[in-house]
Structure 1
Amino acid sequence: MSAIVFGSLPFPGQSGDQIVSKVVTTAIAALFKKTGKLEANVRAEPIAKILQGSIDGFDFVGKGMVMYNGLRLEAMELYLQAISIDFSAIFSGKVKLRQPTQATMRIVLTEEDLTRSFNTPFIIEKLQRLQYQGQSLHFQNTQITVNPDKSINIQSEIKVGDNTEYIPINMQTELHTESRTKIQFINPKFEGEENSIQLSQAILDHVNNLLDLDKFKLDGSRLRVDRARVKDKEFVFYGTVEIDRFPEGKK
């Protein structure tokens, strides 16, 4: 019976789970400016239950994903258990949840991803909102390096106000999560002259204030991080995504 029903749908040769998987993959891809490998897998048994919008589970794995603000993710994995969707919306290329849901997630950023992030106009603009001694700041050549002991080096060159010279800053920190909503650089060790150390401390406080996940949430969703690991030049974050509605992309 289900073969007859799905055979009449405007997706020749595809079953209901393949249809939903394709639409979900396309919708997620639209959230990013550029994507590498994307793979979605919808589970439903029996398949016919998808017609009522009932899904047993949904897995998504994406690699090499670049957001519209320039931030890059080496990998993103989402795993959802039973969810309910409006199956009729699938035919217009949309994913509509009938009720809020929650997914477990794993996000990976490389050392290069984080360095690139700190040099994008999106992050630089946020960093330059800091007023230091009543003057504006200008950043260049920010570099993030993971050390063998899993500590993190942050280096940058910063010009204060109308000064012509850039002040080099160099600090060593550790990665930490706080209250599931913040990613923090803690236990700093500063290098350089006194003016460089004072500037480094002000920058670190500002960066930690910026790294509130609620400030970076996608429309209709909230990120919560339970654990962060530094391994092999990569930053791996484990947590959940609370989804009220499936965000619509910019394409």
Structure 2
Amino acid sequence: MLGGFIGSNNQQGADWGENLLNTVAGNTIRHLFTHSETVDVQVRCQPSSKLLQGSIDSFKMSGRGLVIRKDFRTEEMSFETDAVSLDFSSVLKGKIALKQPTQAIALIKLSEEDINQAFKAQLVRKRLENLSIPTLTALSDGNPVSFSEINLELLPGNQLKLLAQADLHHSIVPISLSCTLVVAKRRRILFEDIRFEADGIAPEWHSLSETLTHTLGEVLNEMVDLDRFNLDGVTMRLNRLETQGKYLLFSGYAQINHFPTNA
């Protein structure tokens, strides 16, 4: 059938191929996410006849309400690749196979609400609960320490305020802190310049709460590493982040070695 398109009407074949690629890519990307509100895929190829040889100028995806691994929702996500070389015969089989790796510019938008919801995910909770922290052994009578009820508020200038509570086995201690979000080594998000906020904390808790504030900061700084969230065949790297109202915006790039097959 493909030979008939090429032999009789090359442009028609290319247009058909472009539509097919859009459909296959859209379906493939949707299956990477537990849930997606919208996913839009656009292929740019001039002249469009190049597509039949597996060569396209760029591939762009934009989506809203994309949920990764059941618990991690992104308000918006988009990426646009460099030139892509793919095996067009794989598209005819409903798949996408790259002939060589490619890179893409990536933009991610997270809402304050979704970030707070992510703190309730099992993958995150297990890194916040039943922790053995040597510096807190005396305070907790040797029992594990857990942090919970985390609520984060995004502020201008990449600042945030965070409320939480610490379970020291014998008491529940309120925590309040402010800090600055920064990108480290293009793959980690760090909570820097952590400051204990005494307002709203009863005076009798100040000393203990301040100690636990910095401990929680250390725990959080070991958590957000993009390598733990990479999709199959895709490596994400960040260039910058920015708070914008109730949203946190990331920009960076993705190295795509092969088209992911699972989330």
TM-score (structure 2 length as normaliser): 0.85
Select which of 232, 241, 252 maps to 1:219.
232
Checking the alignment, whether the CA contact within 8 Å between 1:225 and 1:238 is kept in structure 2 is yes
Cα deviations by residue, 1:116-161 (Å, 9 ceiling, x for unpaired): 111112211122263233532334321111235652011112213x
Cα deviations by residue, 1:38-58 (Å, 9 ceiling, x for unpaired): 111001122222121111111
Moved more, 39-48 or 227-236: 39-48
1:241/1:8 CA distance change after superposition, 3 Å = closer
Specify the SS of the correspondent of 1:154. strand
1:224/1:150 CA distance change after superposition, 3 Å = closer
Matched, 1:186 2:192: yes
Residues 1-251 of structure 1 mapped to structure 2, 5 A cutoff: 2=6, 4=9, 15-128=16-129, 130-132=131-133, 133=137, 135-148=143-156, 150-160=158-168, 162-163=169-170, 165-191=171-197, 192=201, 193-249=206-262
Checking the alignment, whether the CA contact within 8 Å between 2:182 and 2:190 is kept in structure 1 is yes
1:243/1:206 CA distance change after superposition, 3 Å = same
Query: What is the CA-CA distance between 1:20 and the residue it aligns to?
Result: 0.8
Checking the alignment, whether the CA contact within 8 Å between 1:64 and 1:72 is kept in structure 2 is yes
Amino acid corresponding to residue 185 of structure 1 in structure 2:
F
Amino acid corresponding to residue 145 of structure 1 in structure 2:
E
Amino acid corresponding to residue 68 of structure 1 in structure 2:
R
Q: Mark the structure with the bigger radius of gyration.
A: 2
Specify the SS of the correspondent of 1:31. coil
Query: What is the CA-CA distance between 1:249 and the residue it aligns to?
Result: 2.5
1:8/1:148 CA distance change after superposition, 3 Å = closer
1:30/1:6 CA distance change after superposition, 3 Å = farther
Instruction: Work out the number of aligned pairs and report it.
Output: 244
CA distance in 2, matches of 1:139, 1:202: 10
Specify the SS of the correspondent of 1:209. coil
Checking the alignment, whether the CA contact within 8 Å between 2:146 and 2:166 is kept in structure 1 is yes
Moved more, 48-57 or 188-197: 188-197
CA distance in 1, matches of 2:223, 2:40: 31
Cα deviations by residue, 1:207-251 (Å, 9 ceiling, x for unpaired): 11121222222221111100100011110001000111111126x
Percent pairwise identity: 30
CA distance in 2, matches of 1:138, 1:171: 17
CA distance in 1, matches of 2:69, 2:225: 19
CA distance in 1, matches of 2:77, 2:148: 29
Amino acid corresponding to residue 140 of structure 1 in structure 2:
S
1:148/1:43 CA distance change after superposition, 3 Å = closer
Query: What is the CA-CA distance between 1:168 and the residue it aligns to?
Result: 1.5
Checking the alignment, whether the CA contact within 8 Å between 2:11 and 2:48 is kept in structure 1 is no
Moved more, 201-210 or 124-133: 124-133
Checking the alignment, whether the CA contact within 8 Å between 1:104 and 1:241 is kept in structure 2 is yes
